[in-house]
Homo-oligomer: A and B are copies of this chain.
Amino acid sequence: MLRIGLLTSGGDCQALNATMRAIVKTVYNNTKEDVEVYGFKDGYQGLIYGRYRKMDWGDFSGILTMGGTILGTSRTPFKRIDTPEADGVEKVPAMRKNYKALKLDCLFVLGGNGSTKTANRLREEGLNVICLPKTIDNDTFGTDITFGFTSAIDVATRCIDDIHTTASSHGRVFVIEIMGHKVGWIPLYAGVAGGADVILIPEIPYKMDNVVKAIERREKNGGRFSIIVCAEGAISQEEAAMRKKDYKAKIAQRVKPSVAYDIAEEVAGRTGKEVRVAVPGHTQRGGQPDAQDRIFATQCGVEAARGFLEGKFGYMIAKVGGKMCRVPLEDIAGKLKYVDPKSDLVREARMLGISFGDE
């Protein structure tokens, strides 16, 4: 008898169901033992409070193309997993207890950075854990890509495409805010795919002077409209300098109102042009997964199941240099993968004439 647990943790994304389908189908197809599957509800909360349902093969049929997660998810406060919450439950011991009570052979965790950190803590407790790199943000350390990323790029790019026709008709400047609080992967990729004129990401703080110059240069060359793609966490050089002293406070203040409105207002004031804002928001993590995400999610799920069947635990499935591999949890837990300002794509975007606002 094999007993496995599944949970999806953190912000949801598009190919979570595809991944779980691959895990479960692969386990069933490649063992002669009976298999019991336990799906924990709403991420680690389900493991902490013992909320789960017993599932079977059929529950994972027909979900390949379905967005969201059939298990539910939540953002449990990972930072304090070793201290009791207001409810008096000590989380790590509670998770350990529920894992043991169900006699699990393995817990599959579909999650991003925060989730990996908690998974690593469970590994230290002696639990068998395998992580799978979920996030639209592509900021999971240890893997070149994550599932959810290409679907989010698709949604963001479609948004830029749609804005293009109306921006062009009216001769307006548009500021489109794309997801990415700490990292700029989606804005960078979608910005290139959508033909943005300016891309502002957290990793490359901007100067408004340079943004305005880019718009004016474009106008001088005959362009009657401009598209500025900014990450949720786009930051000016002035702010970046300040944040070094007082980082946490600033992040908190930026969540709302949207940074795009501030940028729009400043651009409008300085160029005298009509400026409009679009904030596709959570649509970027919703809807059906695209083909690329389904393929990668399936690969991750199969490889995780294979690892489990080989009796190997304590790592995250990853893709590095085009090859599927396993990276130890202790090497990656709590680390973020940023856009490298010197990377190929940034350099290529600059040569193409895209401004990052830093020069």
User: A257 contacts which chain B residues (CB < 8 A)?
Assistant: 257, 261
User: A192 contacts which chain B residues (CB < 8 A)?
Assistant: 294-295, 298
Query: Is A352 in contact with B282, judged by CB distance below 8 angstroms?
Result: no
Query: Is A193 in contact with B291, judged by CB distance below 8 angstroms?
Result: yes
Encoded as 1 (CB less than 8 Å from any B CB) or 0, chain A from 40 to 68 comes to 00100000000000000010001011111
User: A8 contacts which chain B residues (CB < 8 A)?
Assistant: 169
State which of B67, B157, B169, B280 has its C-beta within 8 Å of the C-beta of A291: B157
Output the nearest chain B residue to A150 by Cβ-Cβ distance: B292
Task: State how many angstroms separate the Cβ of A31 from the closest Cβ of chain B.
Answer: 11
Query: Is B345 in contact with A299, judged by CB distance below 8 angstroms?
Result: yes
Q: A25-B352, A353-B25 are in contact. Are A174 and B299 (CB under 8 A)?
A: no
Encoded as 1 (CB less than 8 Å from any B CB) or 0, chain A from 318 to 352 comes to 00011110000000000000000000110010011
Query: Is A22 in contact with B166, judged by CB distance below 8 angstroms?
Result: no
State which of B167, B282, B299 has its C-beta within 8 Å of the C-beta of A166: B282
Output the nearest chain B residue to A265 by Cβ-Cβ distance: B256
Interface residues of chain A: helix, strand, loop or mixed (majority): helix
User: A165 contacts which chain B residues (CB < 8 A)?
Assistant: 12, 14, 66-68, 286-287
Q: A352-B25, A352-B29 are in contact. Are A280 and B283 (CB under 8 A)?
A: yes
Query: Is B166 in contact with A286, judged by CB distance below 8 angstroms?
Result: yes
User: How many chain copies?
Assistant: 4
Query: Is B189 in contact with A291, judged by CB distance below 8 angstroms?
Result: yes
User: A64 contacts which chain B residues (CB < 8 A)?
Assistant: 194-195
Output the nearest chain B residue to A68 by Cβ-Cβ distance: B165
State which of B169, B281, B283 has its C-beta within 8 Å of the C-beta of A68: B169
Query: Does A181 sit within 8 A of B, measured CB to CB?
Result: no
What separation, in Å, do the CA atoms of A190 and B298 have in the docked complex? Answer: 12
What separation, in Å, do the CA atoms of A64 and B284 have in the docked complex? Answer: 21
User: A12 contacts which chain B residues (CB < 8 A)?
Assistant: 165-166, 169-170
User: A351 contacts which chain B residues (CB < 8 A)?
Assistant: 26, 29-30, 302, 305-306
Query: Is A169 in contact with B73, judged by CB distance below 8 angstroms?
Result: yes
Query: Is A286 in contact with B324, judged by CB distance below 8 angstroms?
Result: no
Query: Is A287 in contact with B344, judged by CB distance below 8 angstroms?
Result: no
Query: Is B353 in contact with A29, judged by CB distance below 8 angstroms?
Result: yes
Task: State how many angstroms separate the Cβ of A21 from the closest Cβ of chain B.
Answer: 9
Query: Is B295 in contact with A162, judged by CB distance below 8 angstroms?
Result: no
Q: A165-B12, A351-B306 are in contact. Are A344 and B73 (CB under 8 A)?
A: no
Query: Does A93 sit within 8 A of B, measured CB to CB?
Result: no
Q: A144-B322, A195-B64, A294-B193 are in contact. Are A166 and B285 (CB under 8 A)?
A: yes
Output the nearest chain B residue to A73 by Cβ-Cβ distance: B169
Query: Is B348 in contact with A290, judged by CB distance below 8 angstroms?
Result: no
What separation, in Å, do the CA atoms of A189 and B222 have in the docked complex? Answer: 39
Write 8 A-B pairs (CB below 8 A) sorted by A numbering: A14-B165, A22-B352, A26-B352, A65-B195, A72-B170, A278-B281, A278-B283, A305-B351
